Chains A and B, each alone.
Chain A
Amino acid sequence: MSNAFFIDTTRCTGCRGCQVACKQWHDLPAEETENRGTFENPPDLSFSTYKLVRMRETETDGKLKWIFLPEQCRHCIEPPCLETARDESAIFKDEKTGAVIFTANTKNLFADEIIESCPYHIPRKAADGTLAKCDMCNDRVTNGLLPACVKTCPTGTMNFGEREQMVSLAQQRLSLVIKKHKNAQLVDADSVNVIYLVTEPPADYHEFLMASANGHGITRHMALRKMMRPFTRAIHQLS
């Protein structure tokens, strides 16, 4: 049995409590940022930023929308990063919780290859090549606590629990939301353990919100990866 997040963006007010709670629980340093002409900051996920609320302004037919996407690792059911690494000391899945965990041994992997393998473009590397991303607060979860981002969310955007429950909650919410927003959908619900409910075209939120929308379909992508691995490794070793 694994856990899952259900992230209901229709409820998200972009308060970013989740983003700060993540930093606080993992004791991650703040980045030096500047105002870039948007509220969104830091500019991207990084080795010290596992969770980032993307904020986008869209305007269609004169109707303005400001949409928010609390972005994080999807903890894929069949994680391409894990498949690509083939090193359980570096990337493994906690079968009890479903968390896909990166360890310090990711330093020994080919970081760019792992990043490339991710259909959601999530892992980020340190200067020494070590990789980091959301760990589902696996330490909290195995001790019966909710992930920090879920615990802090004031609106019910962030939900966490057994996968079956979350899938059912997601479907229930979709059936309600779709009455108001005819394009509402659950994103890649069958292949990930972080299920987003969105009302706008996924690419409006972020380029990598939906795997199939960014030309990185998991299955095709993974097959290609596997096929190419001997060559990429050889090239890497040569260089």
Chain B
Amino acid sequence: MTNHWIDIKNSDCILIMGSNAAENHPISFKYVTEAMEKGATLISVDPRFTRTSSKADIYAPLRSGTDIAFLGGMIKHILDNKQYSEEYVALYTNAPFIVGKTFDFKDGLFSGFEKNPEGPVLGRYDKSQWAFEMDKNGVPKMDRSLKHKRCVFQLLKKHFSRYDLKTVSMVTGTGEGDLKRIYDVYSKTGERGKAGTIMYAMGWTQHTTGTQNIRTMAIIQLLLGNMGVAGGGVNALRGESNVQGSTDHCLLWHIWPGYLKTARASNTTLAAYNETWTPTSKDPLSANWWQNTPKYSVSMLKSFFGEKADAANEFGYQWLPKVDDGASYSWFDIFDAMYKEKIEGFFAWGQNPACSGANANKTREALGKLDWMVNVNLFDNETGSFWKGPGMDPGAIKTEVFMLPACVSVEKEGSITNSGRWMQWRYQGPKPLGNSLPDGDIILALGEKIKEVYRDGGVYPEPIVNLKWDYATDGAYDPHKVAKEINGYFVKDVTIKDKTYKKGTLVPSFAFLQADGSTSSGNWLYCNSYTEKGNMAARRGQEDAVNNIGLFPEFAWCWPVNRRIIYNRASVDATGVPWDRKDWVVYFKGDEKDGKYVSNKWLGDVPDGGWYPMQNPDGSWREDAKYPFIMQKHGHAQIFGPGLADGPFPEHYEPLECPVEKNYLNAQMVSPTAAVYTSEADAHATCDPRFPYVGTTYRVSEHWQTGLMTRTQSWLMELQPQMFVEMSEELAGLKGIRNGERVNVISARGKVECSAIVTKRFKPFTIAGLTVHQVGIPWHFGWRWPSSGKEDSANLLTASAGDPNTRIPESKAFMVNVTKL
């Protein structure tokens, strides 16, 4: 979330699309309800009428996989009706930037496209063709009047001119009246002082166009001036209590802690790494915060390797693994490699891949090709027991499985970081049961054992033996030691601005981190979370900030540097006065003399950099100011995003498996850069009469993830006892299916038995004049429990196709059939 949970209450219009917040994030509805009571409008857009829709002022259905068409229509509406916030757009976004002449968009392809027959991505772009035009100083050329025919604003207009109501309705199946009403209501948040917010989740990400779904909404939020303001932002509702934390600390292969880039094989030295990944800006008004990359990468290496890391050995940079240039190491790639017998051993840690990943049959087969697997979890699951699962012959499986029982979250001390980026410290409740252990203890012991083995030599032992591994107190894992390591220390006496920080003291914030090896920090983004003042995440202050908008700055801690709403300097105009005087986030209150600011003072949230506002009260530009989007190289929010794999503007493409034979918006059927896996276990079927219905997956309030913690809980099983498929009365009538009857749901990859829920909450769509039915299934079940073994995972049906930027699977749109047993 750019904002945070409590902040939803400040919104004037809440769009819930790509998520089902009432069911899957129930607490969020405390704040949604609060906003509605103050007059906010709630809009729910979902293929199915959900518990969220039941509370909405406006509900509209759309066919799964057509969100860009839906939102693209909104962009056109905002532009056609001039509902955008012109001052905001011209000042804070890259709408005025001039794009080079080589940029083009034709027949559904951006310029620079090349097919990639080797796969898994279908094609690639030469992104240099989308570059901005630079002036002689190397600063992007701009036309703040937004009139230049190649400025981003004009290109945006041209790009989305095709997304008229009729075409959008034909693609999405949403009625033109519903589209217009939603566009009208949401676009009103472009008025000064109004804020609209989006609450989205996996309904937007799990598509071959997942990243661009969110980009489309980000563009809307920028056009309407909704970024940085209270009650605005782009808000991802994370699917697990600590997903934000695990992402921040580099759960994913392509990033190091704090979103530093993973080193590529071509980054042969630390200098080369830093040079490659440190952006430079020639614009004196751009903070270009990532220019600090070397300070963060070196501090991270100092944290990993301690005293063994010094300038002479590149702070141990060579001891870190590098990824091959152009290669991908995502979930899909791991299981594809495992399936192709390229991986011998596997730790399944706090996960249940046999149920949780797309095309679960392939995953289950892949597990059988391992020599060994260690399953670290609370309970045995479909992954640990895959060898005795449906269709498996235990005698023919060689994989040796070890189970390490982990204790549950309440049995250990540590922090979680929630969707709103709040790092919250939690104390230990009951002691771990039996011989279960906190994950930290398991990792610590594992590391010690591996170090012991390598002490006597081995292949390239340096990374292991040189790893700093001193996180135990009295023989047990100490979460405080790790939290302090993440924050970082001065590792020698350092003098900054006349103040000397002693060796061994905690670094106050990332502004103090150094590139010369004098500081350590496991994750620069968390530097400021555990300082000499104490454990900031453990704070429980109940006082709100001066602006009284629910920031509660002394409750827990929030990255970065306790900033509760990021990009908050875009919540003020060029002179530092909030767009919204009532629910303001930051407010510049420096002294003024003769029309100029003469002292610097911000009130409210921690500002996104404490520089002076862009302009003085008399309208003159200041030379000591910085643009508010400090994480962007050029300081401006990116309406035109030239860094993405699939194009600088979002474009509607059909899901890999879809019910229509034509993309009504362009000449390409599916995303030209989608990642599609093609082993014999990766069947796909599009516009195939065997699989005529759109399928999607989702969650219910009553279960959690793959259900490991809830399917064993009788009170929850009482509420949702069985795998089900929801379908319209019309489809049930067509197939002769009675409510409650058991049926099979089948895709090109698998089959799942379900109880039919025949409901008015699903309605057939009319897509380009044809009736298209959609069904939906929850993904919480697995054969291991309930003991009947008949309730299995929805992911047996989902496809091995993913987004080109993230490789997230397209679990939200695929094709199925439904048959009576």
Contact = CB atoms under 8 A, between A and B. Distances in A.
Contacts of B715: 20, 23-24, 30
A156 B26 CA distance: 12
Chain A residues touching B, range: 20 to 34
B208 to A, nearest CB: 30
Interface in A208-234: none
B377 to A, nearest CB: 23
Given A35-B757, A64-B761, A13 B721 contact: no
Contacts of B739: 36-38
Nearest to A156: B33
Interface in B754-802: 755-761
Contacts of A64: 49, 59, 760-761
Given A11-B33, A13-B51, A23-B715, A35 B720 contact: yes
Contact of A35 (B33, B721, B759): B721
A11 B741 CA distance: 32
Contact of B54 (A17, A32, A65): A65
Given A16-B701, A154-B27, A66 B755 contact: no
Interface string B694-713: 00000011100000000000
A156 B32 CA distance: 11
Contacts of B27: 154
A41 B54 contact: no
Nearest to B763: A64
A35 B37 contact: no
A42 interface: yes
Interface in B16-37: 22-23, 26-27, 29-30, 33, 37
A16 B22 CA distance: 11
Nearest to A24: B715
B53 interface: yes
A29 B714 contact: yes
A34 B719 contact: no
A194 B30 CA distance: 22
Nearest to B713: A30
A33 interface: yes
A35 B701 CA distance: 15
Contacts of A138: none
- Which one of B22, B51, B720, B722 has the highest number of Cβ atoms from chain A below 10 Å of its Cβ? B51
A154 B51 CA distance: 14
Q: Is the interface of B mostly helix, strand, loop or mixed?
A: mixed
A15 B54 contact: no
Contacts of A154: 26-27, 29-30
A20 B700 CA distance: 15
A15 B701 contact: yes
Contacts of A41: 718-721
A32 B718 CA distance: 6
Contacts of A13: 22-23, 26, 29, 51-52, 54-55
A128 interface: no
A39 B700 contact: yes
Contact of B49 (A17, A36, A38, A66): A66
Contacts, number: 103
B740 interface: yes
B717 interface: yes
Given A13-B22, A176-B37, A34 B755 contact: yes
B650 to A, nearest CB: 30
A19 interface: yes
Given A14-B51, A65-B54, A57 B761 contact: yes
A95 interface: no
Contacts of A37: 738-741, 755-758
B719 A19 contact: yes
B716 interface: yes
A155 B8 CA distance: 14
Given A13-B22, A57-B760, A64-B49, A35 B740 contact: yes
A105 B54 CA distance: 42
A38 B739 CA distance: 8
Contacts of B701: 14-16
A15 B761 contact: no
Contacts of B759: 57
A39 B720 CA distance: 7
Interface string B40-81: 000000000101111100010000000000000000000000
A15 B719 contact: no
A68 interface: yes
Interface string A56-72: 01010000111110000
Contacts of A44: none
Contacts of B719: 16, 19-20, 33, 39, 41
A31 B756 CA distance: 21
A35 B26 contact: no
14 contacts: A14-B701, A16-B702, A19-B719, A30-B714, A30-B718, A33-B721, A36-B740, A37-B738, A37-B741, A37-B757, A37-B758, A39-B719, A57-B759, A154-B29
Interface of B: 22-23, 26-27, 29-30, 33, 37, 49, 51-55, 59, 700-702, 714-722, 724, 738-741, 755-761
Query: Nearest 3 pairs between A and B by C-beta?
Result: A37-B739, A37-B740, A30-B714
Given A35-B757, A65-B54, A155-B26, 13 more contacts: A13-B55, A14-B701, A15-B51, A16-B701, A16-B702, A30-B715, A37-B756, A38-B739, A41-B720, A66-B49, A66-B761, A154-B30, A156-B30
